[in-house]
A and B are shown apart, each in its own frame.
Chain A
Amino acid sequence: AQKVTQAQTEISVVEKEDVTLDCVYETRDTTYYLFWYKQPPSGELVFLIRRNSFDEQNEISGRYSWNFQKSTSSFNFTITASQVVDSAVYFCALSDGDLSGGSYIPTFGRGTSLIVHP
């Protein structure tokens, strides 16, 4: 069975601070994908990143970076120099199997609410 744990329910930081959102997952499959989504106040889930289980390279995109460690089953997300616009709920998700088949059903964590104060 798949499981995604986001232990941090809410994080509050002041602008320009760095913040890391934790994600720990469980799966028995060797092929799987991990995702992060952002849910801003407008409500829609915005895709941020997808990482497959065979690619442990960390990724950086602007102020965002992701640290994938299979040894600890973690896929943590760091925002550097946070801004007020980063305030949102962030969801980590996991999907087993090969996505090239055309569809997948992700298992989501409970989400972490990030509040960035000016």
Chain B
Amino acid sequence: EAGVTQFPSHSVIEKGQTVTLRCDPISGHDNLYWYRRVMGKEIKFLLHFVKESKQDESGMPNNRFLAERTGGTYSTLKVQPAELEDSGVYFCASSHAAGLGLVEASEQYFGPGTRLTVT
């Protein structure tokens, strides 16, 4: 079974430019999460999709960030326009469907992250 994949692995852009990060979850996983880690700090939650619907986007920093998950498969996270403080590693994770009643079914599988550098 293929794991969670993220593209690109690295991105270096200038302040003011736009960047789109992509996450392909494990096939069949309804839950998809985005997280971000700024250098040396905690990994922080950004948002959670259940299929194509945004379940929780309380962690999104501001309206320069737009996440989509059309068709409930892969997801994109667009930053427009990028600012210096957006630099960090963006992780994606996925897990099985809700309502299975099993703790193990909620386990999140993480991708390798996208390292974004805004200069």
B112 touches A43 (CB 8 A): yes
Chain A: CB-nearest residue to B106: A99
A104 touches B45 (CB 8 A): no
Contact-size category for B = 35 or more
A44 touches B43 (CB 8 A): no
Number of A residues with CB within 8 Å of any CB on chain B: 27
CB neighbours (8 Å) of A66 from chain B are none
CA distance A15 to B111 in the complex (A): 29
**Also in contact, A50 and B112, with CB within 8 A (given A102-B98, A103-B95, A103-B98):** no
CB neighbours (8 Å) of B106 from chain A are 99-104
CB neighbours (8 Å) of A45 from chain B are 43, 91, 93, 110
CA distance A45 to B41 in the complex (A): 15
Per a CB cutoff under 8 Å, which of A46, A99, A110 touches B40?
A110
Chain A: CB-nearest residue to B100: A102
Per a CB cutoff under 8 Å, which of B41, B55, B101 touches A103?
B55
B42 touches A110 (CB 8 A): yes
B102 touches A100 (CB 8 A): yes
Number of A-B pairs, beta carbon distance below 8 Å? 74
Per a CB cutoff under 8 Å, which of B43, B44, B98, B111 touches A101?
B98
B112 touches A103 (CB 8 A): no
Whole-angstrom distance between the Cβ of A11 and the nearest chain B Cβ: 15
A103 touches B48 (CB 8 A): yes
CB neighbours (8 Å) of A4 from chain B are 42
CB neighbours (8 Å) of B93 from chain A are 45
A83-103 Cβ-contact flags toward B at 8 Å (1 or 0): 000000001010000011111
CA distance A110 to B41 in the complex (A): 5
CA distance A105 to B3 in the complex (A): 20
B50 contacts chain A at the CB level, 8 A cutoff: yes
Q: Which of B84-105 contact A (CB under 8 A)?
A: 89, 91, 93, 95-103, 105
Report 7 cross-chain contacts, Cβ distance below 8 Å, ordered by A residue: A43-B115, A44-B113, A47-B109, A50-B103, A102-B97, A103-B106, A108-B43
Closest 8 CB pairs of A and B: A102-B98, A45-B110, A43-B112, A108-B43, A44-B112, A99-B103, A99-B106, A108-B42
